[in-house]
Structure 1
């Protein structure tokens, strides 16, 4: 199945993180956030931090950003600053919006849960958090060697949790309905797991998706998208028990991030390039 570029634009500084919530939000090395509509027409641009953004998330009409300045900053979709959340200690490298809650992960292995921009719970998963996903009450966190599955109930306890399972894997990591997808330890293979504790998160399939390290993974519906150092964007059909090749497209430079929407994906590419790719 063919993939084709539907729209393309450039940003002045190298893009490093992105998020999609109706509009596309891109964080760049100079600390700016740029927003675009789904056709990549510019919407807004504003200085968010003094240096490179580490993480970006969007949901419920708000945009969340983090850097190494000891804060998470909350913005409106147009770039108006709503508030700033102090985060002393380790740098926050992951932001994830789930409903009206914000989940953060840092380099010290701490996951915090915020509701209405107020800290609600904190859990120490003992290992640097490079990515996380949530299928309540299970929190999935990952670094380079293992995926940890933690049962949490923020409405019942601010700190108590139960580690349910660990399995081999590394970032990036995503949930897709009843499936969990993560990279294998080598960084070249994509693994498909059941996301249920009843099967002990059984691995169903593993497929080589690149000859080089994969940096980015996005899911939408029945499809997963991968990209990384080799500059090739690849799409995979998620079936009941395997991943099927559904097309690829050479983008010419390292892919630093992906965000999927319906049958399209947005990719940020080294050198300031931003593309929207659609699958047939």
Structure 2
């Protein structure tokens, strides 16, 4: 059977407003949206639990082994129990900024804000330090000691040294482009400034980047969501956005090749891969779907 929508969240269970972020963690899907709620789902999109986490939009969520972290334009980052979604604590509060992105990677929680700061916490809460990447942090991805950050016009590539008492960093490159960001193998993927072209760069051992592939006009409208994964030695990219078309791309042999598509009836804001051959997409008016390959 070709790439297709296998199941959807029931209308009575979905978010009231747009979904902004999906994560798949320990066999469960978590979604967060403009209604300020975090919702938890089984892999088949059976509704399991929810919490009114913020009074306004949740812009990003991430998870470690013990908690979900959420950030909002209300100036807070909060943590929640994985299974019950009970509140653990207000992890960070600063009413002078809006927190736009949270990302957990290899023992470090990264928190990006609208002023270009990326704060880092280790050991589930100890402040380690911060860096400033000069542009607001709408999206963020980490590959080894390189951090990629972006808003709408540029992707900032920053080299980090995380071995000392405080993080040391230097900006390596500024590349024209925008999110969403995706990583697979030794490649970083983002969109052109107009949001319609897909750009793939290979990350070499010396951390310099080389253009791997570019697909001009990959979508007719702006791409909002992307996720990349390696299944059984094959690398795949999935993209979607305002044109309501989810596209599948094979990343191989120094090229990016179209390998299928699926129409969907809502604007896609976010995507994430789940178990093998399963992709989740969510977005406009709270809709959420699982697509099977």
Greater displacement, 218-227 / 150-159 = 150-159
Question: Alpha carbon RMSD of aligned pairs, Å?
Answer: 1.6
> What residue number does 1:79 align with?
85
1:180 is matched with which residue: 173, 188, 200? 188
Question: Which residue pairs with 2:16 in the alignment?
Answer: 13
Picking from 144, 154, 157, the partner of 2:162 is 154
Deviations 1:8-62 (Å, cap 9, x if unpaired)? 1131412222211121111122211110011111121111111121111123242
What's 1:105 paired with? 112
Contact 1:92 1:107 in 2 (8 A): yes
Any conservation in 2 of the 1:220–1:263 contact (CA below 8 Å)? no
Matches within 5 A, 1:65-76: 65-76=70-81
The answer for unaligned runs of 5 or more in structure 1 is none
Q: In 2, Cα distance between the equivalents of 1:242 and 1:275?
A: 29
CA distance, structure 2, for counterparts of residue 197 and residue 4 of structure 1: 37
Question: Where in structure 2 are there 5+ consecutive unaligned residues?
Answer: none
**Alignment-derived partner of residue 138 in structure 1:** 146
**Residues 70-100 of structure 1: per-residue CA shift (max 9 Å, x gap):** 2111111120212212231321111111022
- Contact kept in structure 1, 2:147 and 2:157, CA below 8 Å: yes
Q: TM-score, normalised by structure 1?
A: 0.94
Contact 2:197-2:218 at 8 Å conserved across structures: yes
- C-alpha contact 1:60 1:100 (8 A) present in aligned 2: no
Does 2:69 correspond to 1:64? yes
SS in 1 for 2:266: coil
* 1:115-126 matched pairs, under 5 angstroms: 115=122, 116-126=124-134
Q: Is the 8 A contact 2:128 2:167 kept in 1?
A: no
Give the superposition deviation at 1:157: 4.7
Aligned to 1:271, the other structure's residue is in SS state helix
- 3-state DSSP of counterpart to 2:140: strand
Query: What does 1:43-58 align with in structure 2 at a 5 Å threshold?
Result: 43-58=48-63
Distance 1:72 1:230, change over 3 A: same
The DSSP-based 3-state class of the residue aligned with 1:155 is coil
Q: How many residues align?
A: 279
Deviations 1:200-221 (A, max 9, x none): 3001111132010001111121
Q: Per-residue deviation at 1:269?
A: 3.1
Larger mean CA deviation between 264-273 and 157-166 belongs to 157-166
Measure, in 2, the Cα distance between the counterparts of 1:128 and 1:197. Answer: 28
- TM-score, normalised relative to structure 2: 0.90
1:248 alignment partner in structure 2: 261
In structure 1, the residue corresponding to 2:157 is in which secondary structure?
strand
Partner of 1:29: 34
Distance in 2 of aligned mates of 1:240 and 1:195: 15
Moved more, 24-33 or 150-159: 150-159
Cα pair 1:6 1:278 within 8 Å, conserved = yes
- Change in Cα spacing, 1:157 to 1:175, as seen in structure 2 (3 Å) is farther
Aligned partners of 1:210, 1:102: CA distance in 2, in Å? 33
**Equivalents in 2 of 1:86, 1:258: separation in Å?**
26
Q: Secondary structure at the match of 2:224?
A: strand
